[in-house]
Chain A
């Protein structure tokens, strides 16, 4: 036998509960449809709860004087099948077409029926369109706009906070992480960095966004040193290196190419820079078209540029536009290093200090003294591979054996 509930109705738009004033029926009582069986009171009015069907009170679940929320089942009626059918309280299962047998009149709405009939139920989808937003990105390399803004305010760059282990989502460095870090380093001694230092820092930061690799090999300098001694005035060793580098690159220009997206941008001219140590930094004046000029032709400009660079007065026409740089760190007594190319260049060639070494000579059948230095080439590995870099160095070493041709 169907069981029909007696429900606490919604007695007004803002009513959440009502108090039972009087139960007009008890278990076992026979009731009619629409009979007022329970009197309730809200803070607005006194009302009667009615029955949906005729039947017998099976049970009453509530007490007088107590408040119950809207929708509470107050009791149950036992109702005959016929009565439940008559009052529409028996809900029939629908068939797959959504139509029910004997469902009475069809609807006559003005709405157009969607083509193809009722659609499949959809899931609720968030209304996000377009590309995924960076908020979904993970990892310490991601800086949120808030984080970027705070860093801009403090004049910080991503590299400056490399020491911080992020505690945010996906290991992000958060503003709180940053503030803690700054508090931590606050007590350490510090001084103001010079503009030159900051300029080099910026340049190196940008440069190191690329995968850089270094290779090296020794080169015999005796032929070069002998030739140089025969000249007056004596050209600095670096000019020979510049000249040889220019020649070698002109033979394999792709080696100095610059990768942008899917394109290799080739050098328009073989303009090479030379690193000059100045106070608290490095300047790189550029000599133009080194591949077409001899050591002799380059010498005057080279000496002039080095002098001006040390005075920090590099002429406008010698700034920028180079495709590679030469650095002679041998002058500091160093024999090896891994120089970093400028952000706008793919290659940098370094040379260490010459060292006299015993070298086995087949011809002499004994060790002979030779002056050797290490040539180091650092390159953007996206553009050049170890093999290509090695060939370039070998070619350079060969060219340096015939300095009179440079």
Chain B
């Protein structure tokens, strides 16, 4: 969580200093749920389709920080060699598929990865997770993806961050049901709801959902209520978010809440917290510095191959 927040703050700063081309999308306020989910998953074993506000989950899942800085800063050594950027990065073979921008589209991809594991006899003990926001619930892909996972009874955990805004559209213009978790019944999956600003509650609910899926309980829908504490991207000042909402319990910063929870429970000390933060800052600075000094993609060096099969690449 701390690493993610630190990294994302740095990325936002680099964007505002003109160093990052394209967008920067960060997830302040969502680190508690994202990191909770990521920490329940094992890199190279489970599957995690991260969304745009999932640096917390990516880091906790095990994504190397250089993957992020290389992707954002356009290093040719990045996973996509500069062909795609920012939060579209992924390492599919390690269980981190590379997201496309179309909301809800990754749910069925995760389901497909799980189906493959089943056909290969390797599904035992595996969980696939996908992150979505309230906006994605309005898409056909969300419906098809969750329905298919339910039909196949796949170990899918769908973490739905109900962060009150899809870009600038508030939830009342997005859906009309009283509570998104009610939809679980309609799909025949198990539903959970949690206060996404509460780190310990999030960790508990999400880890239980992951365990249920792992044990064969079928798809789990976890709805986490919280407020997006940033713009849609760093180009957006989120001036449309009402003050009252910011000051409501939904507007709490999960980082502050989480730190206090851990301090109060005596699980960490303030010194430890401070040292975690300075370690994170150093790690971030190093990853940024490395990516910054690496070469950018060279259009004359890229082979521009769109087909994996070499014989097809000869044609045009």
- Which residues of A are in contact with B by a Cβ distance under 8 Å? 6-13, 15, 33-34, 36, 44-52, 70-71, 85-92, 94, 98, 100, 103-111, 114, 118-119, 121-124, 127
Contact = CB atoms under 8 A, between A and B. Distances in A.
A12 B235 contact: yes
Given A10-B21, A12-B235, A48 B16 contact: yes
A103 B298 contact: no
B23 A13 contact: yes
Interface string B88-132: 000111000000000000000000000000000000000000000
B301 A121 contact: yes
6 contacts: A9-B15, A49-B16, A50-B13, A50-B14, A86-B285, A122-B300
A108 B79 CA distance: 7
B21 A88 contact: no
Nearest to B70: A107
A118 B301 CA distance: 7
Nearest to A15: B235
Nearest to A35: B13
A71 B18 contact: yes
B156 interface: no
A170 to B, nearest CB: 31
B194 interface: no
B17 A51 contact: yes
Contacts of A123: 300
A121 B79 CA distance: 22
Contacts of A104: 66, 286, 290
Contacts of A92: 293
Interface residues of B, number: 47
B207 interface: no
Tell me what chain A mostly uses at the interface: helix, strand, loop, or mixed.
Answer: loop
B16 A121 contact: no
Contacts of B300: 121-124
B6 to A, nearest CB: 11
Given A6-B17, A44-B235, A107-B77, 12 more contacts: A8-B18, A9-B17, A10-B18, A12-B235, A12-B236, A104-B66, A104-B290, A105-B64, A108-B79, A119-B301, A122-B300, A127-B316
A45 B77 contact: no
B42 interface: no
Contacts of A124: 300
A8 B295 CA distance: 23
Contact of A87 (B18, B81, B288): B288
Given A47-B237, A121-B300, A98 B295 contact: yes
Contacts of A89: 292
A49 B93 CA distance: 38
B14 A52 contact: yes
B263 interface: no
B236 A34 contact: no
A45 B295 contact: no
B290 A91 contact: no
B10 interface: yes
Of all A-B residue pairs in the complex, the 8 with the closest CB atoms, nearest first, are A88-B289, A7-B18, A88-B292, A107-B77, A12-B235, A45-B237, A104-B290, A34-B13
Interface in B23-70: 23, 64, 66, 70
Nearest to A8: B18
A27 to B, nearest CB: 19
B21 to A, nearest CB: 6
Nearest to B10: A34
A110 B93 contact: yes
A105 B237 CA distance: 35
A49 B294 CA distance: 24
B239 interface: yes
B78 interface: yes
Nearest to B69: A88
Contacts of A119: 301
A7 B17 contact: yes
A46 B239 CA distance: 9
A91 B290 CA distance: 10
A93 B41 CA distance: 40
B289 A86 contact: yes
Given A45-B231, A45-B237, A107-B78, A50 B17 contact: yes
B303 interface: yes
B293 A88 contact: yes
Given A13-B23, A105-B64, A119-B301, A44 B294 contact: no
A89 B316 CA distance: 41
A265 B301 CA distance: 57
A49 B13 CA distance: 8
Contacts of A8: 18
B204 interface: no
